[in-house]
A and B are shown apart, each in its own frame.
Chain A
């Protein structure tokens, strides 16, 4: 774990924590979905993705955005509808587009779209890929299977990053998913990889070669990241018991690194907490974003 990776993990953690605080203070309207606990996924992928790769994010996408752009102020301004908002305040938390990064709020919808961009890449920019983040709950959507079928059939450079956090909004995976994600990928002849989302260096070691294969025309890859959702689905809607959530917290990277990395962790944790606090002060002091035409 190098300092930059730890910084990014902590940046995302403190950004999400700050959002929940702002909600609690009544300073945010609407809704948001934090990725607390899932930060290692975008942090591990960051150096493995190229700026010309497409990234499709979902409703739980702040970590994906921050890993790609390192721009907490633009994102917070977007969520708060303040000047400097990256999408003019129209998109908000779950509808972001910046270059080849895009998120949208309908489950499964972005998978065929990502396949379309992968088709373009296969024809015109070989070596590039489209990465689409989905959850375990997204496998309930038919669009996922239509897209996987075409991606496998046409050997498209598509990376399906499944963040399996064990819960779809309020429904445990066991109550909504029959069989396994591995078997579903296998049914389409798509490559499959299981990656525990704990240590970003270990994760990259597992991902490196399979991703090269995707870039070299080997067809789609489904990566099942085993991860944890520490927070509620959105703001205060978590039906899980405190015992269950406490168990997840005990296994969380933040708890582990705090116990094992000593002052290096304490210093970087304070640094990123302060950085986000400064961003919150800056953005909350800004004027409402004006309509762009």
Chain B
């Protein structure tokens, strides 16, 4: 992992590793073949190395997830690349009604090793239909797991976990991560408790001023916020990044939350029945009656994501949005 400079390179290498070690694994998606290698270049080189397993497809999001589901039923495994996460709406039926339900609706377990990779998020100026973070539409679907890529989690271990669980899953990947460094900031130390990454300054400095809980795509912005909070406001806290957003393992979050009275859950999607709302509710319920203050939410604005850079910035969560949310928690 450390041999790769960027998250996108590490993800590309991870896909190659998995295709090499498992001939039953297929990779499907639009424009993923060489020399193009996918809209973000994440599959570059793979169709050349694994011509049988890597299949570039027509523009048919529902159809290709259906093909992946069929491969899984036949005993294979499949990773599908959505060109943009917004387009996963077109495959909702295959994911929710077929893949997720099939794991249990036939009265006996049916393994469905299918991973749908979804490049999410904005800050790239792609506008309303190419920038969304649609995670919340897939939270709470029985039989379906939701993961998010981060610079803190080894993509090989992560993808092995997803493919090995027997349940279909979505892997949301914030596009800005592809060019991001694997370790966002040397000021902080990263440890792992299962698939939850912990970020904080060194152990000998207290880190109880706040707790930020964020999905992987916000790791960079959250650590920029933490640096600012430490250097400008002398506030030292922690960031927890769970790789699996749903079903969520609350224990590592709860452990960190009990040591501070200021918990902020951050996500880059709009408010309303969202992932952050679910996490905040579960944390709040568990913390009820303790000295921990109200769990706060820091979310994107309630609107479409504009194309113009200055308008887009106002809608999406930025590092300074997180700084403000933590400072507000301190009032």
Known: A87-B107, A292-B107. A117 touches B73 (CB 8 A): yes
> Is the CB–CB distance between B107 and A113 below 8 Å?
no
B71 within 8 A of A: yes
Q: Does A147 contact B (CB under 8 A)?
A: yes
A154 — nearest CB in chain B belongs to which residue? B55
| Residue B69 is within 8 A (CB to CB) of chain A in the complex | yes
Q: State whether B104 touches A116 (Cβ < 8 A).
A: no
Say whether A109 contacts B94, CB under 8 Å.
yes
A140 to chain B, nearest CB (A): 14
List B residues at the A interface (Cβ < 8 Å): 52, 57-58, 60, 62-76, 78, 93-94, 97-98, 101-102, 104-108, 110
Binary flags per residue of A84-113, CB closer than 8 Å to B gives 1, else 0: 011111110001110000101010010111
Given the known inter-chain contacts A117-B73, A149-B60, please indicate yes or no for A85 contacting B67, CB distance below 8 A. no
* Residues on the A chain within 8 Å of B67, using CB: 112-113, 115-116, 119, 147, 150
**Chain A 135-163: CB-based contact to B (< 8 A → 1; otherwise 0):** 00000001100110110010000000000
Query: Is the beta-carbon distance between A109 and B60 smaller than 8 angstroms?
Result: no
Residues of B within 8 A of A117 (CB): 70-71, 73-74
Instruction: Find out whether the CB atom of B63 lies under 8 angstroms from the CB atom of A150.
Output: yes
A90 adjacent to B70 (CB under 8 Å): no
**12 new A-B pairs (CB below 8 Å) besides A109-B97, A146-B58?**
A85-B107, A91-B106, A97-B102, A102-B106, A104-B97, A109-B93, A112-B63, A112-B66, A116-B72, A146-B63, A149-B60, A153-B58
Is A11 close to B, CB under 8 A? Answer: no
Q: Is A209 an interface residue (CB 8 A)?
A: no
Task: Evaluate contact between A120 and B106: CB separation under 8 angstroms.
Answer: no
Interface string of A113-125 (1 = CB under 8 A from B): 1111111110100
Chain B proximity of A283: nearest CB distance (Å): 16
Cβ contact within 8 Å between A120 and B58: no
Beta-carbon contact of A106 and B97 below 8 Å? yes
Size category, A interface? 35 or more
Contact B70 A119 (CB under 8 A): yes
B70 lies within 8 A of A112 (CB): yes
Could you tell me if A120 and B76 are in contact, using CB atoms closer than 8 angstroms? yes
Give Cα distance in the complex from A114 to B63, angstroms. 10
A143–B74 contact, CB under 8 A? no
Residues of A contacting B71 in the complex (Cβ-Cβ under 8 angstroms): 116-117, 119-120
Could you tell me the distance between the alpha carbons of A117 and B71 in the complex, rounded to whole angstroms? 5
Distance A109 CA – B70 CA, assembled complex (angstroms): 11
- Nearest A residue to B66, CB-CB: A112
Q: A96-B106, A115-B66, A116-B70 are in contact. Are A123 and B58 (CB under 8 A)?
A: no
Chain B nearest CB: distance from A115 CB in Å? 5
Contact B73 A146 (CB under 8 A): no
Smallest CB gap from B114: residue in A: A116
Is residue A65 contacting chain B, with contact meaning CB distance below 8 A?
no
Q: How many A-B residue pairs have CB under 8 A?
A: 116
Contact status A150-B75, CB under 8 Å: no
For the complex formed, measure the closest distance between the CB of A139 and the CB atoms of chain B, giving whole angstroms: 15
Q: Which residues of A contact B (CB under 8 A)?
A: 54, 85-91, 95-97, 102, 104, 106, 109, 111-121, 123, 130, 142-143, 146-147, 149-150, 153, 292
Give the 10 A-B CB pairs with smallest separation, nearest first.
A116-B70, A112-B66, A88-B107, A146-B63, A120-B74, A87-B107, A146-B60, A97-B106, A116-B67, A117-B70
Q: Bound complex: CA of A89 vs CA of B63, how far in Å?
A: 29
- Give chain A residues whose Cβ lies under 8 Å from the Cβ of B75: 120
* CB pair B63 A143 closer than 8 Å: yes
Q: Which residues of A contact B107 (CB under 8 A)?
A: 85-91, 292
- The residues of A that contact B52 with a CB separation of less than 8 Å are 123
Instruction: Give the distance in Å from the alpha carbon of A111 to the alpha carbon of B66 in the complex.
Output: 8
Q: How many whole Å from B33's CB to the nearest CB in chain A?
A: 14
Residue on B nearest A106 in the bound complex, by CB: B97
Contact call A102/B63, Cβ cutoff below 8 A: no
User: In the complex, how many angstroms separate the beta carbon of B39 from the nearest chain A beta carbon?
Assistant: 19
CA distance A242 to B94 in the complex (A): 39
A150 touches B110 (CB 8 A): no
Query: Does A95 contact B106, Cβ atoms closer than 8 Å?
Result: yes
CB distance from A142 to the nearest CB of B (A): 7
A153 to chain B, nearest CB (A): 7
User: How far is it, in angstroms, between the C-alpha of A195 and the C-alpha of B76 when the chains are bound?
Assistant: 34
CB distance from A148 to the nearest CB of B (A): 9
Chain B residue with the shortest CB-CB distance to A89: B107
The CA of A119 and the CA of B108, in the complex, are separated in Å by: 25
Q: How far is the CA of A112 from the CA of B65 in the complex (A)?
A: 8
Task: Tell me the nearest residue of chain A to B26, going by C-beta.
Answer: A119
Contacts of A104 in B (CB 8 A): 97-98, 102
List chain A residues, Cβ under 8 A from B60. 112, 146, 149-150
Q: Which residues of A contact B58 (CB under 8 A)?
A: 146, 149-150, 153
| Closest Cβ–Cβ distance, residue A96 to chain B (whole Å) | 7
Q: A96 CA to B73 CA in the complex, in Å? A: 14
A residues within 8 A CB of B76?
120
Pair A91/B105 contact, Cβ less than 8 Å: yes
- Set of chain A residues within 8 Å of B98, measured between Cβ atoms: 104, 106, 109, 113
* Best-surrounded residue of A85, A102, A113, A146 (most CB of chain B within 10 A): A113
CB-based contact B70/A113 at 8 Å = yes
Of all chain B residues, which has the CB nearest A97? B106
Q: Can you report 22 residue pairs joining A to B where beta carbons are below 8 Å apart? A: A54-B74, A86-B107, A87-B108, A88-B108, A95-B101, A95-B105, A97-B110, A106-B93, A109-B93, A109-B94, A112-B60, A113-B67, A115-B67, A116-B66, A116-B72, A119-B71, A121-B74, A143-B94, A147-B67, A150-B60, A150-B63, A292-B107
